[in-house]
Chain A
Amino acid sequence: MKNRLKSLRAKRDWSQAELAERLEVSRQTINAIETERYDPSLPLAFQIARLFKTRIEEIFSES
């Protein structure tokens, strides 16, 4: 699955560690999602969408 997490994070000038702390996951999880090696669970995807005040479909899309 493709995602825009890296660009959304960059827009807010957050580090991976900062985003991880806000989402209460590890930095490795953020890195794995950004490099598209890991697709987050639905609850985490919703949490990410809420944090960036956008819809899930605008962050994640089918590859």
Chain B
Amino acid sequence: MFLLNLKRKRDLSIFTATSLGASAGFLIVTQLLGQFIADHPDNPTIRWLGVLPVVALVAVAVLALRSLRRMDELARKMHTEAMACAFLGSILLISTYGFLTMADLLTLPALWLPPAMVSCWVIGLLLAIERYR
């Protein structure tokens, strides 16, 4: 992923599509997995499958940190800024979501959060690329 030259429009499109596609795929798989677990409430082995998304998320986090260390300093700065944007955007979204749910104004499953966080990251990266172009 980080071998792409994100200043080239084609590579940036591939990166954006892959990131958003992967997070959307994650959302679909976890929904299906959740449904499958709910359909077998008495099977303790199947209930353990609920841990699988956590394993995938930890693997993504480790991969992201390892990739960050391998980048050259400008790329690292751009991705760090993008992560800061994703972090702050996520806090804003989670707080808003929590407040709206508490006030009974919103009833959405929390699974939309990973794609929303990835979107914040992509937006942050686009802003960083524009700044250092």
Residues of A in contact with B (beta carbons under 8 Å apart):
24-26, 28-29, 32, 37-38, 40-41, 44
A32-B72 in contact (CB<8A): no
A40-B72 in contact (CB<8A): no
Residues of B in contact with A (beta carbons under 8 Å apart):
5, 7, 72-75, 77, 131-133
Given A37-B131, A37-B132: A28 touches B7 (CB 8 Å cut-off): yes
B132-A44 in contact (CB<8A): no
Main secondary structure of the interface of A (DSSP, over half): loop
A38-B132 in contact (CB<8A): yes
Name 21 A/B residue pairs within 8 A (Cβ), A-sorted: A25-B73, A25-B74, A26-B72, A26-B74, A26-B75, A28-B5, A28-B7, A28-B74, A28-B75, A28-B132, A29-B72, A29-B74, A29-B75, A32-B74, A37-B131, A37-B133, A38-B74, A38-B77, A38-B132, A40-B73, A41-B73
A28 to chain B, nearest CB (A): 6
A25-B132 in contact (CB<8A): no
Add 13 more A-B contacts to A25-B73, A26-B74 (CB < 8 A). Answer: A24-B72, A26-B72, A26-B75, A28-B74, A29-B74, A29-B75, A32-B132, A37-B131, A37-B133, A38-B74, A38-B77, A40-B73, A44-B73
